[in-house]
Amino acid sequence: MKKIIGWAVAIYVLYCVGMAWYLFSFADTSIPPEWKGTSADPATFLTPREQLLSEQYSQLKNFLFFVSVPYDWLVYFGVLGLGVSKVLQTCATRATKLFVLQVALYVFWLSLIVMALTLPLDFVSYRISRAYDISTQPVSSWLRDELIDFFVNYVLTFFIVTVLYGLIRRFEKRWWLYAWGLSVPFTIFFMFIQPVVIDPLYNDFYPLKDKALEAKILTLAQEAHIPAKHVFEVNMSEKTNALNAYVTGIGSHSRIVLWDTTLKRLQEDEVLFIMAHEMGHYVMKHVYWGVAGYIVLTFFGLLVANWLMKWVIARWGAHLRIKKMRDIASLPLFLLIISLLNFSVSPLVNAVSRYEEHAADKYAIELTGDTEAAVSSFQKLTKAGLSQVNPPYIVKLFRYTHPTILERIVFLQHVQSSKSQ
């Protein structure tokens, strides 16, 4: 097993070298010749230094993403292969006979180990954002968010693992089906409480301070037949210089949220376009479609995870120190498989998201009719976040939930052309 882990580390290192070569030397991020000199060309709205910083920052962040995902897999595999998971299970069972407390102890120790091993990469990502002036967050504030992340994830993981392994122990063959059935109301409940319970742990949310702007946004919402009473503002300027707005939650707890950085750096007509875009998500019920899609993927994910776990344990269980699936020591294997499945379907999930974002762009243009504000808002989003206008294809495939800035501005130029004809 130590040799296998050694080979896994060697393959990971080679993968990192190959990915670095692809992202930093091989990938072509230039603008197609037909769009040179247009509003889609970063040379028309970014200074030469901003173009250089944008390229460097995007390359570094993309590289970190592609090395951190398999690094997580390596951590889970190492915890299993080196017998750490088995030791944690033994310690938990010796400490208490109650299954719930065994899970609580095991999940806590495993979470600490994973956090300790992954925190350095997270810190590097944070330092890069600070170095390129994207993040304005002090180290103390960043550590506070990491600590909140740890305990929020711990509570959720403890609850899920307790239910999951309780079902595996009682229904060895059909546990995945019952787990999926329970995940449906849990997913809906979590989406319902996230805007009012989870999100406020990280930032302060309050009704939009600019009442004149809020009145215009609510008038726009009326035209779209949206029964909105408030637009929410969040104080992100203490953490970042990037711009954003989003729609979150379901039912009566749905919220349209604007970052205060967006309000400070965009003109009123640009903010109205961004709001119209978010209203498009609401009108076309993208949040509900997202929840439905997640429920469907969870069904197939648990089905495949059940099959893979049984197969792996039957073939390599002795090497991984796992006797049965019901052993809590098998949790890293479950997490590894789920992570692999999530990564494998991410191109499909991202493609659906990009389709919805494009539909929201179209809706916003139909509602506001202001293509100039739309173009300038996308340009300012690029400038604030140092985003690549035309990222490498593999980056778009695995990372982009929105169309690229090139695609969005080109679409707007086609709209402008059709209007002028």
Phi, psi of 4 (to 5 degrees): -65, -45
277 labeled binding residue:
yes
Tell me if residue 361 falls in helix, strand or coil.
helix
Q: What is the pLDDT of residues 60-78, one digit of tens each?
A: 999 999 999 999 999 999 9
Check the annotation: does 402 bind a ligand.
Answer: no
pLDDT value at residue 253: 61
CA distance 322 to 309: 11
Residue 406 confidence (pLDDT): 94
Token output for 79: 């915890």
Q: How many residues does the chain have?
A: 421
Instruction: Place 258 in a pLDDT band, splitting at 50, 70 and 90.
Output: confident
Which stretch of 66-70, 128-132, 315-319 has the lowest confidence by average pLDDT?
A: 315-319
Catalytic residue among 233, 278, 356, 407: 278
**pLDDT beyond 80 at 119:** yes
The pLDDT tens digits of the residues spanning 18-61 come to: 999 999 999 999 999 999 999 999 999 999 999 999 999 999 99
Would you list the DSSP string of 159-190?
A: HHHHHHHHHHHH-TTTHHHHHHHHHHHHHHHH
pLDDT of residue 63: 97
CB 256 within 8 A of CB 244: no
Mean pLDDT across 294-304 = 95
> What's the pLDDT tens digit per position in 371-400?
999 999 999 999 999 999 999 999 999 999
| 139 pLDDT more than 80 | yes
What is the Cα–Cα distance from 134 to 353, expressed in whole angstroms?
24
**pLDDT at residue number 369:** 87
- Whether the per-residue pLDDT at 249 is higher than 70: the answer is no
Calculate mean pLDDT across residues 314-335.
Answer: 92
Residue 357 marked in a binding site: yes
Q: In the structure, what pLDDT confidence band is assigned to residue 228 with cuts at 50, 70 and 90? A: low
**Which residue type, as a one-letter code, is found at position 163?**
V
The domain limits of the chain are: 2-202+286-420
pLDDT the model gives residue 356: 95
Max mean pLDDT range (106-115, 288-297, 407-416): 106-115
**Is the pLDDT reported for residue 121 higher than 90?**
yes
Q: Give the mean pLDDT of 174-199.
A: 84
Candidate ranges 184-193, 213-222, 305-314; pick with highest mean pLDDT: 305-314
Active site residue 361: yes
Please state, for a pLDDT cut of 90, what percent of the chain lies above it. Answer: 67
Q: What is 53-84 written as a DSSP string?
A: HHHHHHHHHHHHHHHHHHHHHHHHHHHHHTTH
Output the average pLDDT for the chain.
Answer: 90
More confident residue, 420 or 111: 111
Question: Taking the complete model, does pTM exceed 0.85, yes or no?
Answer: yes
Instruction: Report, as an integer, the average pLDDT of 330-353.
Output: 96
**Whole-number pLDDT of residue 354:** 96
- Contact status, residue 76 vs residue 336, Cβ threshold 8 Å: yes
User: What DSSP character marks residue 117?
Assistant: H
**What is the reported pLDDT for 211?**
85
Respond yes or no: is residue 278 known to be catalytic.
yes
